[in-house]
Amino acid sequence: MRLSRKAAGFIAAAAMFTVVAPATAAVASPRSTCYGGRVCLYAGFDYNRGQADHWRDFVQDDSDLTDNNWLNWDFSNSWHSMNNETSSVRNRVGCSATLWQHAGYTGAHSTFTHNSNDGFLSNNAIGNNRTSAIDIWCR
Ligand SMILES: [Ca+2]
Ligand SMILES: [Ca+2]
Ligand SMILES: [Ca+2]
């Protein structure tokens, strides 16, 4: 098949788009990566992809998230309470971690093993926008 210069240009552009596509991952939040030794909570589904980057990481238990604010992508304080706002989670802390519905570790809960990711808490027992405490088993 012979291609006109224009068609070839289009195909080249399409190929370029294909190459560029992974960079669309730049839409992923700057804090969507969760580093070792932490459990990372996100206010949005899919680790805040394409959304306001309200996130926070934990290295130990916190029995009551009502006194915790989300961080912004640049680590500044969002002044926005974390209570009942977690929608996705990554666990890199080295052991399982449980998210609880109520402060003091009561109510509905879901446990996430080390190295697990869940970008959608609506289909977990803990549910979406209900987390009020985090129990990290090894800390
Ligand atoms: Ca707290
Ligand atoms: Ca889920
Ligand atoms: Ca709650």
What local confidence, expressed as pLDDT, does residue 56 receive? 98
- Tell how far the Cα of 60 is from the centroid of ligand 1, in angstroms: 11
Backbone angles phi and psi of 5, in degrees to 5: -60, -35
- Tell how far the Cα of 71 is from the centroid of ligand 1, in angstroms: 14
Contacts of range 69-78, beta carbons closer than 8 Å, 24 or more positions apart = 70/43, 71/31, 73/29, 73/30, 73/31, 74/30, 78/54
What local confidence, expressed as pLDDT, does residue 30 receive? 87
In a domain, 22, yes or no: no
Instruction: Say whether 106 sits in a helix, a strand or coil.
Output: strand
What local confidence, expressed as pLDDT, does residue 86 receive? 98
- Tell how far the Cα of 88 is from the centroid of ligand 1, in angstroms: 18
Q: Is the pTM of this model over 0.85?
A: no
In a domain, 11, yes or no: no
Number of domains composing the chain:
1
In a domain, 4, yes or no: no
Residues within 5 Å of ion ligand 1, judged at the Cβ atom: 62, 64, 67-68
Q: Which two tokens stand for residue 31?
A: 């804090």
In a domain, 59, yes or no: yes
**Of 114, 138, 133, nearest in space to 65 by CA:** 133
- Tell how far the Cα of 135 is from the centroid of ligand 3, in angstroms: 14
- Tell how far the Cα of 33 is from the centroid of ligand 2, in angstroms: 18
- Can you list the residues of the chain whose pLDDT is less than 50? 1, 11-15, 17-25
Amino acid at residue number 19: V
In a domain, 25, yes or no: no
Residues within 5 Å of ion ligand 2, judged at the Cβ atom: 118, 120, 123-124
50-88: pLDDT as tens digits: 999 999 999 999 999 999 999 999 999 999 999 999 999
In a domain, 9, yes or no: no
Query: H-type helices in the chain, by residue range?
Result: 5-20, 45-48
What local confidence, expressed as pLDDT, does residue 1 receive? 46
Strand order across the beta sheet in which 133-136 lies? 106-112, 97-102, 133-136
What local confidence, expressed as pLDDT, does residue 7 receive? 52
- Tell how far the Cα of 138 is from the centroid of ligand 2, in angstroms: 23
Residue 132 sits in a domain of what CATH number? 2.60.20.10
In a domain, 24, yes or no: no
Q: Report the alpha-carbon distance of residue 57 to residue 100 in Å, rounded.
A: 16
In a domain, 119, yes or no: yes
Range(s) of the domain holding residue 112: 30-136
- Tell how far the Cα of 98 is from the centroid of ligand 2, in angstroms: 13
Q: Would you give the distance in Å from CA 86 to the centre of its chain?
A: 9
